[in-house]
Structure 1
């Protein structure tokens, strides 16, 4: 069974994701530039998507899959943003 998110929070420059199986994942915000640049208020407005398989920040157009976090995968759009 795959791990599912139940909550997310930020401390300093870290994203912490609490999983339903009891684990907590910590990921540096440097992996997700949109979250790093966002205000605390923008970061606070998120949704758990896909029944817990992901996190979505509507205002920031940011989507993160729990499976990607577990695999150590950061933002896959970085190369697109740098070209803009």
Structure 2
């Protein structure tokens, strides 16, 4: 069975967590505060996320921030979890 790169079909933000629905049916979420630019964004700015590149990337135009879906699924975050959440 060939492995394929994960693709997002839906994205939304709740309580500073970004949730992705993947093409294979999985839903995963991550704290926005795990990324430098997203950690400084307002709640309204975070909600303006969209799927780009046919599901391979997430884009926040107002923040000029892009994340790959594969990187998020692999857990490639820029910042550690806050101590209270660890």
Return the TM-score normalized by structure 1: 0.76
Hey, what does 1:31 align to over in structure 2?
34
The aligned runs of 1:1-84 (5 Å cut-off) are: 1-75=4-78
* CA deviation string 1:41-71 (max 9, x = no partner): 2122222111100101111011010110111
Count of equivalent residues: 76
- Which 4+ runs in 1 deviate beyond 2 A? none
Q: Which stretch of the first structure deviates more once superposed, 59-68 or 38-47?
A: 38-47
Question: 5+ unaligned residues in a row in structure 2: which ranges?
Answer: 80-86
Greater helix percent: which structure? 1
Give the CA deviation at 1:72. 0.6
Question: 5+ unaligned residues in a row in structure 1: which ranges?
Answer: 77-84
Q: Which stretch of the first structure deviates more once superposed, 58-67 or 24-33?
A: 24-33
Mapped partners of 1:14, 1:47: distance in 2: 14
